[in-house]
Structure 1
Amino acid sequence: MAAAFARVAEGVFSWSDVQEAAASGSEKQLISALLDALASGHDKAASLLFDWGVSPGLGAVAADTPQPGSVHVLILGWGGSSKAQLQPAQKWWQGKGYPTLATTFCPKELQKQIDAISAFLPSECDVLVHAFSNNGVYLLQELLQQTRESRPWRLSGIILDSAPDACVSPMLMNMVVNGCIRALCMVHGVFVGGRPEAALTAFQVVGPLRVGDRIQDQGPVPSVAGPSGSERGYLANTDRGDAMSAEVMQTVVADYAGKALESKDLDSLQKFQVSKVEIATISDFLLQEDAVSLFLYGQLDQSSCSGRLYEEKHPPLTCTWFTS
């Protein structure tokens, strides 16, 4: 890892460094090096730390032995959740007699997770999905989209537990990214102080589009490059009603991709900004599934009511509501 730490100090790092650190038990040292890089002005270090913090276990899967003929339960964790944190939900479903698989969506390890889920589910079995928060819905969306044309199992029900909040406001994104990074540090015993603390506190996730920027249709989320061609970040929609809409994002990309933005374009794109971390979008994938959806919220979640907004926007969706 010595070579990787030297590269990080120069602002050069990638997901493979995280994988190597996890394999060698050097997570604490790499996190500290990335925090130092952020303090030295390398903003991409925060993006890598956030990708890591979203799934501290790098998409690790905890699965029971499959039981043909039984309902199988997929437990898809919230951003930052570990296998230990998902154990109470997993044990609850196991207590009902159902084989379970628990994992937390890791964008950089997505295909491994999809493959593990596919290997876990027997042919012709009924599947119940318990998805937590936005992160659980991201993984559910990917799973259903990838298997739609050839799905040997049946989706019998979906539980959306505190999911998802259709808000990508700058304040909220700062809180989410900062919180995920600090939680990652806590998991690995990394003290955040001095220059890294100041840099993390001051880090602004979302910023405005500028004249001369170019929207680039590359990957699942469009990116934004500055006039010089240097990467600024990812395109983010901060409008509450359509913040996570894949359809709205696709329309914007079709109209502006590759074009140097002018002042008049910025007027038309007022609800769009540049995010230094990748923010996934959500399509109307639930409407294409013949499964009942159960929305679960606690009292503190009542202010967002994002699932209810989703239901009102798409009335064919069958929903049941429980709060506690």
Structure 2
Amino acid sequence: MTHADNPLPGGIKDALCRVTVRRGGRSALAWGEELVAEGPIHLRTLLQLAVYERLHAGLALGPETWMSGARRDAVVESRLLAAMPHRDTVVRARPAEWRAGELLADIGGVRVRVPAERVRGEADEGRVSVALPAARPALSPGYFLADGSRGGPRGTPLLRVYVHLDAAEAVPAVWSAVLRCLEDREVPYRAKVSSSSAFLPRRDGLVVYLGPADWSAAVDVASSSAGLPGQGADVSAFAAQLAPGAAVAWEPPAAEGAGRRLSFGEHRAMAVATGLMEHALGGGEAPKADAVAAALRGAGIDPRAPYRNLDSPPLDFLAVDTPPAH
């Protein structure tokens, strides 16, 4: 690969000029900030956070703020719950035993007690439908998460829809508009919204997850939030823009042997950080962008269109979509 035909999008390629990893892999200058590490592995982690903040989320907080800002806020959570157009979601459960007005059932590999009034319908193929609270505010740190009234997204691959939020006081209204849009379309989905003012503004302030039958609902999500107070105009450098402040990206592949599954932004940022480290530790003779493009491809990412994985299908509703990489 030559520098002239490097496939990286211009925005990412230009951003790489703001990062210099020094020989030895123990320090770097990233967007004017000095990063000093115990060694190359530690430095890659620091670079990953810097890339995540600058290229994906669009903020600059640092590790301490990320930890403290993820604390739950009961007042904010109550406002987000009140803004939801529904309270319950439906899941499939495998019944085990009825006991005194409640059902013992296996849900997602966990045996739970379900009050009889929350069981919906008769057993079908050995399963029953159960109504559970749709809101799960503690599931994703820094976010308030909810599943749709018809359940979570079905099938794979999942498509993520991002909405840029820039004002904490306007978050409940945008959250409500997006959820009402999805409920009106009667699609199963999962959505989460930033529940901490410390994490705003951010380009991934609201995220919707859609299964294959409902990918096209991404266009409606973008329309439902357009022009509302509190929606920003920027999108992640790794995502594909649908409209100002709204973008899509594919759920990243699971890394072999990894513990916690990385989010889309974390996955892309880790690949970029890996490429930067490999470029520096390899002597820095080849163009930096070539090393990053190779690292993206090695992580299963299409370097020409980082919102895609190498095996992602095309999206008919995108104005310009990139064909599968070979």
Both proteins in one fold, TM over 0.5:
no
Q: Which has the higher strand share?
A: 2
Flag the structure with more relative contact order, 1 or 2, with Cα contacts below 8 A and sequence separation at least 6.
2
Per the normalisation by structure 1, the TM-score is 0.29
Per the normalisation by structure 2, the TM-score is 0.29
Q: Which has the higher helix share?
A: 1
Structure showing greater radius of gyration is 2
